[in-house]
Structure 1
Amino acid sequence: MNQPIRGYTLTQWVGSGGMGEVYQAYHTATQRTVAIKMLSRVEQAERFRNEAAVQASLRHPHIALVYEFFVENNLSCLVLEYIEGPTIEQYIKKSGPLSEEVAWNLLAQIASAMDYLHNRGIVHRDLKAGNVKIARQGKAKLLDFGLARFANSPKLTHEGYVIGTTGSMAPEQFSGQSSSASDCWALGVLLYEMLTGQSPFGGSTLSEISRRIQKADYVAPQKLNPRLSKASERLIDKLLTVSPDRRFTARQVVEALRHPHLLDSPDWVGQMRKWWDRVKP
């Protein structure tokens, strides 16, 4: 592990990403601590290069930076900003649900990052609690762009191939379709998990989870956390909506979090549509 790679000394193993192993490393010349993601599956080389190209083009306070990409001894390496702190998933497992104030603050930061991506024609496609770190002073940092792509870039999967993390996937992703609206569904899943400590679409089998997702069939979050405000419940409803066209955009999420009164009025039409989505064959 201590054998330098392009001037980087690996100091400890951090975990596994979508396509490779991630290590903490130290660069002697710049005295910078970084994260290095190393490709573990040669057949995924094209997707790994795509991840580097997508993330290297981004500059946003809530998206981890890419410093460089290189190939050394046939080993593809992506050098990233090292973020100290737990992922949201790790935090929930250790400490349980977040307070509404903290959850809203984190969601506002993540939604801002998603709005930035969507305005540049980029769909993340794998937003989840395990891909967001909570850094110092409660700053959210979005990680892992292994499944992201530009809207006009070539597809790296076969048509109809399901891609993503099942529990956070939008209904349309089960048909191989994804868009910015799919990322917004994942925002709803993330908010639900932060406020309740549970996934909205749990199940014992993948087919059961898929069925529940495609009907937006989830337990009302207030039943799991009675202290939640109506605003949180309505925001989740606006995001966990079967039709992509009716979901809140990332920009609308940011605005709603800044101005909660936008969520004051019950959406009776939306509630009827959600009821119909759940009961229709």
Structure 2
Amino acid sequence: MSQCLNPDCLFQNPSGYTKFCQKCGNKLLLGDRYGGQKIIGQGGFGRTFLAVDEYKPSKPPCVIKQFYPQFQGTSSIQKAAELFELEAVRLEQLGKHSQIPDLLAYFSQDGRQYLVQEFIDGENLAQTLESKGYFSETQIRNLLNNLLPVFEFIHSRQVIHRDIKPDNIILRQDGQLVLVDFGAAKYATQTALAVTGTRIGTPGYTAPEQANGKPIHASDIYSLGVTCLCLLTEVEPIDLFDDSEFEWVWRQHLKTSVSSELGQILDKMIQPAIKKRYQSATEVLQALGNQSPQPRPQPSPQPSPQTPDSLKSARGVDYTRLRDLLAAGKWKEADRETEGVMLKAAKRENERYFDSDSINNFPCDDLRTIDQLWVKYSQGRFGFSVQKKIWLEVGGKVDWDTEKKLGDRVGWQKGSWTLDFYLLTFNLQAPTGHLPRFWVWSAVGLIGIGPLMFFSRMESCKL
């Protein structure tokens, strides 16, 4: 079947008709390439069609979104058009993540806007809830561990989704969760955060500050927490909150038991007061990790009495957890922990970013301790001193050309792309110098890869 995209027609043409609609004569191929198959969704902004890419031999499925607002008012339509265009922009910027749909095309045809995106084979969590019933604690933990790294990714790009809910999370056939519908997404620049904006979101899932037009990264955390409550209880958010007492009563609606540890995490995610809520996806992941039993380290990498680890710190930082994670071979968690302890050593844990002074005056004892732990437990494969040696070999400068050469050597580059955190290799088969590789942030955003920005300090510390 070939679906006509003309909103005044929408005729289903018999198989074999791929050029013009039998009923209205409208061109059936969008951009002479994408052929609609059937309508799979519609709302206030327009319709969504399942389609195929006729240019490719395998004719893979894709999704066409058509902007065709059903409401009246010039200002409302103009705002909706802006949001539709912004969704295309967001997908272009974020779609390189495997858990965000890739943007395939964006253009106008017959006076209407269209975007074409990757088809995600699976059902959204609202459909899963309806077909299979409430989620267990294990499923909720898996959901959080699967989806929070995606939040880290979009928030690191200064994007707030603003419409997290079961309908916008798809469980793909491979078991991965995919975040969709970036039509409400907003840039979280310092200027934007200071200005009251358009009130966007789904009632019940929306954080109080977002409902007042001032969303922040923690607003998405709130919405994800509410999503978890709905999945646990099969109850809508409005019935999980007691307005008279101004408190959540989700435990009264539970279908299965939830541990106090997970309950406390969810309670903090849905705190109406921003300061009492988790501020980032990383904080939630750390809380989940801290609540989970830590595997016992294997005997072979355990420090022996003859060669104890030096956990020396000039700022009183406790490196025990970093040591234990490295000893257990938990490289991904150790990379996150490295960023955390370095912020503490720089006395920047409140700011959550480094500035030039904190880098230039970073305590040498702490830099040496962190490096020695990485080198020891990776058997010489990972660590700042390993990376610095390679950096000197490729030019020893802090510039784009040297960064690319270093990235090629240690596996941080793939062609012209710098790999994001979730694409790194967290095992000993990774290239020499691959880890650690946290990001360094400034007050205005990303300024570079952590180790690269600290190389000059390593020189002065004689690492």
Both proteins in one fold, TM over 0.5: yes
- Unpaired segments ≥5 residues, structure 2: 5-27, 70-76, 294-463
Which of 61, 73, 81 is the matching residue for 2:118?
Answer: 81
User: How many angstroms apart in 1 are the aligned matches of 2:236 and 2:222?
Assistant: 13
- How many Å apart are 1:246 and its aligned residue? 2.3
User: How many angstroms apart in 1 are the aligned matches of 2:61 and 2:50?
Assistant: 7
Q: Say if 1:64 and 1:258 are closer, same or farther in 2 by CA, change over 3 A.
A: farther
Instruction: Report what 2:335 is aligned to.
Output: none
User: How many angstroms apart in 1 are the aligned matches of 2:172 and 2:102?
Assistant: 14
SS in 2 for 1:15: strand
Q: Say if 1:226 and 1:150 are closer, same or farther in 2 by CA, change over 3 A.
A: same
Query: After the TM superposition, which residues 36-185 of structure 1 pair with which residues of structure 2 at under 5 Å, given as runs?
Result: 36-41=64-69, 42-43=77-78, 44-58=80-94, 59-152=96-189, 159=196, 161-185=198-222
Contact 2:136 2:256 in 1 (8 A): no
User: How many angstroms apart in 2 are the aligned matches of 1:106 and 1:197?
Assistant: 16
Instruction: Report what 1:274 is aligned to.
Output: none
Which residue identity does 1:11 align to in structure 2? Q
Q: Say if 1:135 and 1:214 are closer, same or farther in 2 by CA, change over 3 A.
A: farther
Runs of at least 4 residues off by over 6 Å: none
Instruction: Report what 1:22 is aligned to.
Output: 48
Which of 201, 212, 225 is the matching residue for 2:255?
Answer: 225
Which of 227, 230, 233 is the matching residue for 1:196?
Answer: 233
Contact 1:108 1:253 in 2 (8 A): no
Which residue identity does 1:22 align to in structure 2? T
Which residue identity does 1:78 align to in structure 2? L
Of all paired residues, the percent bearing the same amino acid is 29
Instruction: Report what 1:234 is aligned to.
Output: 264
Q: Say if 1:161 and 1:120 are closer, same or farther in 2 by CA, change over 3 A.
A: closer
Contact 1:222 1:233 in 2 (8 A): no
Deviations 1:86-140, CA, capped at 9 Å, x for gaps: 1101111222112222222122222111111111111111111110111113210
- Unpaired segments ≥5 residues, structure 1: 204-208, 263-281
Contact 1:64 1:80 in 2 (8 A): yes
- How many Å apart are 1:231 and its aligned residue? 2.0
Which residue identity does 1:104 align to in structure 2? R
Normalising by structure 1, what TM-score? 0.82
Which protein has the bigger helix share? Answer: 1
Which residue identity does 1:46 align to in structure 2? E
User: How many angstroms apart in 2 are the aligned matches of 1:214 and 1:16?
Assistant: 37
User: How many angstroms apart in 2 are the aligned matches of 1:214 and 1:107?
Assistant: 28
Which residue identity does 1:227 align to in structure 2? S
Deviations 1:145-198, CA, capped at 9 Å, x for gaps: 11101123997xx94643210010111122211111111100110111122222
Q: 239-248 vs 138-147, which deviates more?
A: 239-248
SS in 2 for 1:187: helix
Which residue identity does 1:260 align to in structure 2? Q
Contact 1:171 1:213 in 2 (8 A): no
Which residue identity does 1:225 align to in structure 2? K
> Which one has a bigger Cα radius of gyration?
2
Contact 2:162 2:201 in 1 (8 A): yes
Contact 1:25 1:33 in 2 (8 A): yes
Which of 16, 26, 32 is the matching residue for 2:60?
Answer: 32
Normalising by structure 2, what TM-score? 0.51
- How many Å apart are 1:261 and its aligned residue? 4.1
Which residue identity does 2:55 align to in structure 1? A
User: How many angstroms apart in 1 are the aligned matches of 2:197 and 2:244?
Assistant: 17
Instruction: Report what 2:404 is aligned to.
Output: none
SS in 1 for 2:248: coil
RMSD of equivalent CA atoms: 2.5
Q: Say if 1:214 and 1:9 are closer, same or farther in 2 by CA, change over 3 A.
A: farther
Which residue identity does 2:249 align to in structure 1? V
Instruction: Considering Cα pairs closer than 8 Å and 6+ residues apart, tell me whether 1 or 2 has the greater RCO.
Output: 1
